[in-house]
Amino acid sequence: ADKVVRVGYQKYGTFLLLKARGILERKLEPLGYSVTWTEFPGGPQLLEALNVGALDFGVTGEAPPIFAQAAGAPLVYVANEPAAPLSEAILVPKDSPLKSVADLKGRKVALNKGSNVHYLLVKALEKAGLAYGDITPVFLPPADARAAFQHGDVDAWAIWDPFQASAEVTLEARTLTSGEGLVSNHQFYLGEQAFVAGNGPAVDAILASIREIDAWAKGNVDQAAAELAPAVGIPVPVLKLALSRQAWDVQPVSAAVAAEQQKIADTFHDLKLIPKPLKVEDVVRGNGS
């Protein structure tokens, strides 16, 4: 194997299972590729590496690729997992007086700026008839947000799995609303433009590997949880809850998914999170790239 695929992964997700099983290596070997795996603490960092050409392929949530595209990163949407709206939510402490999203008016909500829950919060407020300006956003990365949440510094916390599940189980946090009916919450598989354009068979082999692992995971949530738990450092029951809410069926990015993604981009533009509007469909695999 004289060609290399550089894959970026995060601790929590299908790629960790894939890596453990060696499926990808087996599928790419005949095509003359070897695989190097690189772990990243989050989607933005993963795409940062992809942007400067240090990575060929990776997986993130829905928000990071929008910022990467806005920054001109040479990325392509290759595929996505189905919607998993239950995998993100707005939580409140168990004894909180807040009963509905509308009660958030004038309250402090912790969230990771520019993440999928940022979009969720906007949508949830919209639905409850509140303006974004009616709440005070407190931007914190998950670990810090949890500390603030526990400490009572914030009234609510918009968060995704597995942090969401962990807060539900260990802090007995109450769900104000999940993403259901508000957002779709996809996972995206993203490739570097030149790599995707020049290595079609390899990309297809990667997708085939993901399909294989998805199929396995769907039927073996318990075992998947047991396998991931030591690496992630999250108790098995928590992980099981998180994984059970996840959708497992990788598919090419459809026009509908692209359109949803476009809505997120437009919302972020309205929030001035990105400086200029962008067209998601320009960087979807198969759409001329």
Partner 1 sequence: MAPLSVPRGVAAWILPVTLLVAWEIAADTGLISARTLPAPSAVALAFRQALSDGTLVQAVAVSTGRALQGLAIGGLLGFGLGVLNGLWKPAELLLDSTLQMLRNVPHLAIIPLVILWFGIGETAKVFLVTLGVLFPVYLNTYHGVRTIDPGLLEMARVYGLGPFARFVRVILPGALPSIFVGLRYGLGLMWLTLIVAETISASSGIGYMTMNAREFMQIDVVLMGILIYALLGKLSDVITRALEHATLAWHPSYAASQETPA
- What residue ranges bind partner 1 (CB under 8 A)? 8, 11, 37-41, 44-45, 47-49, 51-55, 67-68, 70-74, 110, 113-114, 137-144, 146-148, 150-151, 153-154, 162-163, 166, 170-171, 232-234, 273-275
Nearest residue (CB) to partner 1, 50 versus 250: 50
Q: CA dihedral defined by 148, 150, 152, 155, rounded to 10 degrees?
A: 80
Nearest residue (CB) to partner 1, 139 versus 216: 139
Min separation Cβ 162 and partner 1, Å: 8
Min separation Cβ 137 and partner 1, Å: 8
| Strands of the sheet with 33-39, listed across from one edge | 33-39, 3-9, 57-60, 188-192, 75-80, 251-252
Nearest residue (CB) to partner 1, 38 versus 100: 38
Of 252, 163, 264, nearest to 211 by C-alpha is 252
Cα distance from N-terminal residue to C-terminal residue, the chain: 26
Determine the number of helices (DSSP H) and then strands (DSSP E) in the chain: 12, 11
Min separation Cβ 261 and partner 1, Å: 16
Min separation Cβ 35 and partner 1, Å: 14
Min separation Cβ 134 and partner 1, Å: 16
Nearest residue (CB) to partner 1, 54 versus 208: 54
Nearest residue (CB) to partner 1, 182 versus 274: 274
Nearest residue (CB) to partner 1, 31 versus 271: 271
Say if residues 210 and 11 touch (Cβ distance below 8 Å): no
Backbone φ, ψ for residue 106 (5° rounding): 80, 5
Min separation Cβ 219 and partner 1, Å: 26
What is each CA distance from 57 to 7, 8, 134, in whole angstroms? 5, 6, 39
Print burial letters for 149-181: b (CB count within 10 Å at least 16), e (below 16): beeeebbbbbbbbbbbbbbbbeeebbebbbbee
Nearest residue (CB) to partner 1, 197 versus 273: 273
Min separation Cβ 47 and partner 1, Å: 7
Distance CA 246, CA 185 (A): 10
